């Protein structure tokens, strides 16, 4: 949804290599972008608290993703009452 990594093939003499391009910009209006980020925060918090919700996703990964989003969007999370300690 947010990050898309695309690869293209570069043909060089004697080898074939992948050159990765990383696009990390979310194409959405600011209001929608905030809503999507909050939805992702709540989803990862839910999976971290209740592992049976996120089938196939370990609790440690859910916590890591939640904490990463909290660090990137601290002011937004505080406005919605989300803290780093919510998933412990």
Q: Which helix (H) or strand (E) holds 16?
A: strand 15-23
CA 12 to chain centroid: 34
In which band, very low, low, confident or very high, does the pLDDT at 25 lie, cut at 50, 70 and 90? confident
Looking at 43-47, 52-56, 72-76, which range is the least confident one? 52-56
pLDDT in the model for residue 73: 96
The dihedral built from the CA positions of residue 84, 30, 36 and 19, taken in this order, carries a sign that is negative
pTM: 0.71
């Amino acid at each position: 949804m947010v990050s898309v990594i695309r690869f293209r093939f570069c043909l060089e003499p004697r080898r074939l290599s992948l050159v990765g391009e990383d696009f990390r910009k979310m194409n959405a209006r600011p209001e929608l972008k905030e809503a999507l980020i909050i939805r992702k925060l709540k989803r990862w918090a839910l999976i971290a608290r209740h592992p049976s919700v996120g089938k196939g996703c370990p609790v440690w990964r859910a916590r890591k993703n939640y904490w990463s989003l909290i660090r990137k969007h601290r002011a937004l999370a505080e406005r919605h009452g989300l803290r780093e300690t919510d998933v412990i």
